[in-house]
Structure 1
Amino acid sequence: MTSTWIRNISIETEYLKEENYLYGSDTKKIDIQIEDGKILKICTHHSENMSGSDIDGTGLLILPTIKEMHCHLDKSKLGVPWRPVTPAKNLVERFTSEITELDALDLPIEARAKNLIETELAQGVTFFRSHIDVHPAVGQRYLEGVQRAISDYDASFDYELIAFPQHGLLRSNAYQEVDLALKNGATLIGGVDPYSLDGQVEKSLSQTFELAVKHHVPIDIHVHDRGEAGRKTFETILSYTKQSNWQEKVFVSHAFGLNDFVGEQRAEMFSSLANEGIGIISSIPISGGVPPLTELQKAGVKVAIGCDNIYDSWSPYGTGSVREKLNRYGEIFNQKTQEELTQILGLITGGKQTISEKNEGELWLKEGDAASFLLTNASCAAEFVARQTPIDYSFYRGKIVYQG
């Protein structure tokens, strides 16, 4: 058994309050002992306990590790010479030409996927959920390429790979390829706009849920559709979630159409999403398509954030920083207070928060937890969110996977 002490690190304990104004967070210095990838012991820091083999945290703040909940490891062009996005007349032309464009790159998919992984590891990410194109035009080769890339990392992060019929499950006749991908290591099933792209929302979602139930995997489906198309899609997703007893196993990415529900219909839809455990994942686009995330959270809906495009055939933008997306979320939804900024950290940590909403002062880090966390030179989680302070260390199950 290998045991390591990380000493002299700061952890938030409670909010600092002046009358009714929360102006910061109190912290205390702790030492943590790591053994076999888990937190074995947490104790108050005493400088006399330092030894030569210990890691000195130099007072850095410990925070939960970051989860990247929406990326495309198979699509990134990181590492190849700069080219802006090739013009395309419509969605179909874009995803059709993308295959030729990616295949023509000098850098293979494994190297490009690794470049994206390295970029995000440096941003504190130790979990990736990635959609991987699976359909007759590419077969299993994108999935296999990403799997080869990941295999070189010797368990440096957690991940989920989504069998993603980018060209439409029905439109591209992708059922058999998706079925095969779920046998070959994909751990979720995806989809995209069953109403507008597949043209048969009921049949498309029926097959999606059929495959999910067959392979006992969750669903994470792209829904960009607005108006009637979006409403019908969400109603059908809810219906199939209930029929399949797939509660807590369904996620909708983008979900722009949730903005179009109004009045009682809006309240009923948001309540139904919460009751069925259907999560919403957003990349916080500037273009105005962000779903009503704060309203959804208040209704009890699970919400998470991911990067999505990071220099690919769809967009020249994207830095690979999930916390940059969180920072944008904070601006868009006017999250300014100490408490608001502290709580929204949970959107990129799988729900882990450093201080409870009731200000009970309970530590989020527990003995027995996986030793996955980051260290940063911030006074509190709120400063980390608002100011995006640099990450000094990122740990995954006791192993340093990034050091700034």
Structure 2
Amino acid sequence: MRDSTWLRNVRVENDYLEKEGFTYGSKSETVDIEIKNGKISDIIAQNFRQDGNNEIDGKNYLILPTLREMHCHLDKSKLGVPWKPITPANNIVERFTSEIDELDNLSLSLKERAKNLIETEISNGVTFFRSHIDVHPKVGQRYLEGVLETLEEYQGQLDYELVAFPQHGMLRSNAYDDVKKALESGVQIIGGVDPSSLDGDLERSLSQTFELAIQFNVPIDIHVHDRGEHGTETVKKLIEYTKQSNWQGKVAISHAFGLNDFVGEEREMVFSELAELGISVISSVPINGRIPPLEELRTAGVNVNLGCDNVYDSWSPFGTGNILEKLNRYAEIHRLTTQEALTDSLALITGKPFNLEKGKTWLKKDMDASFLLVDSSSAAEFVARQSPVKFSFYKGTVVHSL
């Protein structure tokens, strides 16, 4: 059994500061945390200090939950290669067709580029990745194999889920066998993309997707960019298949732009069904006018998560690999300006509720010792001011420090 490590002198929020009905900040208490076997074994008030051989000075930084990157493409980033703007493409088919040759001819290998993205995200506080990896006849399993080899180098530094992603369409590219092979090799989630407009057969595309999900007992995370009837029909059919397959809590819709196109009573009913069935929405918070109604969805009880998605790749020259930047954009778009709203929004990139209650904190004994230390007065300030991560811990190990 490993010796314990004491993390000294860190602050944890436990209440709001209010005056005349206005919340102007958060209260915090200073604690010492014992870490043993990758978990938090004790939390004590600082004035009850216990001696320990291994100590880390937390420098009175604020402790927050570790961050999650819920939508990226480790096989696609061009981080580390010389700058070049994206090449023109008239449509999605042109884009993903030219992408393969472009990535194959870069000066850095897939493994080197994936490593650059992973390390960028780790430096920004991420210790969990969900990454979609292309598997289809044009690339076979080689992107997946490259990503898996890269992730082997990060054992003990992060957790991850990989999504078998038929980028060129499950039906359009006859990707069923390649997706199945990826799932047979242990990939944890099945993906998909625009089964209505790209595959041209919504029913058959979703049927194959759910068939494989059920066969391998894995969740589904499907890209749905479609607007109008393509988008709304896809969402309704996903709801139908989720019910028929008893796949509640195992389906996520990435992007989900078509949720904007439901109106009136149907809108209310669909959003309610998404919540009841545990169908999540994952967004990269685009600012091109297509962002789904995320706060409305949260109010309806839908689980919403954020991801960076494109980080300098063949699809976009933008993206920094900083998930906090995405949350900051989200908060600005939705005018989350109060202490409470900013604090609550942190759950979008941590997966942990952060509602402060008098005297209670999110930090508990026996949880994984995966967390951040930041130079902020509160979670709200961390979100609004995008404070840099001073320390990032993964199961008791420091994986990043400034």
TM range (shorter): over 0.9
The alignment of Structure 1 onto Structure 2 pairs a total of residues equal to 401
Corresponding position of 2:247: 246
Corresponding position of 1:98: 99
Q: 1:127 aligned to 2:125?
A: no
Question: Deviation string for 1:267-305 (max 9, x for gaps)?
Answer: 000000001100000000010111101110111100000
Over 6 Å off, 4+ runs: none
Counterparts of 1:109-148 in structure 2, within 5 Å, are: 109-148=110-149
Q: Is the CA contact 1:64–1:352 (under 8 Å) kept in the aligned structure 2?
A: no
Corresponding position of 2:382: 384
Question: Deviation string for 1:333-371 (max 9, x for gaps)?
Answer: 000000000000000001331x33xx3331111100000
Paired letter, 2:111: E
Q: Is the CA contact 1:223–1:254 (under 8 Å) kept in the aligned structure 2?
A: yes
**Normalising by structure 2, what TM-score?**
0.98
Corresponding position of 2:163: 162
Determine helix, strand or coil for the equivalent of 1:186. coil
Determine the C-alpha separation between the residues in 2 that align with 1:52 and 1:351. Answer: 31
Corresponding position of 2:302: 301
Q: Is the CA contact 1:7–1:50 (under 8 Å) kept in the aligned structure 2?
A: no
Q: Is the CA contact 2:231–2:259 (under 8 Å) kept in the aligned structure 1?
A: yes
* Offset of residue 51 of structure 1: 5.9
* Offset of residue 106 of structure 1: 1.8
* Offset of residue 185 of structure 1: 2.3
Ranges in structure 1 where 5+ consecutive residues have no aligned partner: none
State the superposition RMSD in angstroms: 1.1
Corresponding position of 1:257: 258
Paired letter, 1:379: S
Determine the C-alpha separation between the residues in 1 that align with 2:358 and 2:275. Answer: 26
Determine helix, strand or coil for the equivalent of 1:54. strand
Question: Deviation string for 1:92-112 (max 9, x for gaps)?
Answer: 010000000000112111111
Q: 1:399 aligned to 2:400?
A: no
Q: Is the CA contact 2:274–2:280 (under 8 Å) kept in the aligned structure 1?
A: yes
Q: Is the CA contact 1:22–1:338 (under 8 Å) kept in the aligned structure 2?
A: yes
* Offset of residue 204 of structure 1: 0.3
* Offset of residue 63 of structure 1: 0.1
Question: Deviation string for 1:313-338 (max 9, x for gaps)?
Answer: 00010000001000000000000000
Counterparts of 1:200-211 in structure 2, within 5 Å, are: 200-211=201-212
Counterparts of 1:1-150 in structure 2, within 5 Å, are: 1-2=1-2, 3-46=4-47, 49=50, 53-150=54-151
Determine the C-alpha separation between the residues in 1 that align with 2:171 and 2:9. Answer: 56
Corresponding position of 1:181: 182
Q: Is the CA contact 2:65–2:352 (under 8 Å) kept in the aligned structure 1?
A: no
Determine the C-alpha separation between the residues in 2 that align with 1:199 and 1:339. Answer: 45
Question: Quick one: structure 1 residues 50 and 286, their matched pair in 2 at CA, closer, same or farther if it must change by over 3 Å?
Answer: farther
**Normalising by structure 1, what TM-score?**
0.98
Determine the C-alpha separation between the residues in 1 that align with 2:54 and 2:221. Answer: 44
Determine helix, strand or coil for the equivalent of 2:367. coil
Determine the C-alpha separation between the residues in 2 that align with 1:255 and 1:333. Answer: 17
Determine the C-alpha separation between the residues in 2 that align with 1:274 and 1:101. Answer: 40
Determine the C-alpha separation between the residues in 1 that align with 2:229 and 2:187. Answer: 32
Determine the C-alpha separation between the residues in 1 that align with 2:200 and 2:61. Answer: 53
Determine helix, strand or coil for the equivalent of 1:289. coil
Q: Is the CA contact 2:6–2:52 (under 8 Å) kept in the aligned structure 1?
A: no
Corresponding position of 1:266: 267
Paired letter, 1:304: N
Counterparts of 1:352-371 in structure 2, within 5 Å, are: 352-353=353-354, 355-356=355-356, 359-371=357-369
Determine the C-alpha separation between the residues in 2 that align with 1:154 and 1:345. Answer: 26
Q: Is the CA contact 1:14–1:27 (under 8 Å) kept in the aligned structure 2?
A: yes
Determine helix, strand or coil for the equivalent of 1:233. helix
Determine helix, strand or coil for the equivalent of 1:335. coil
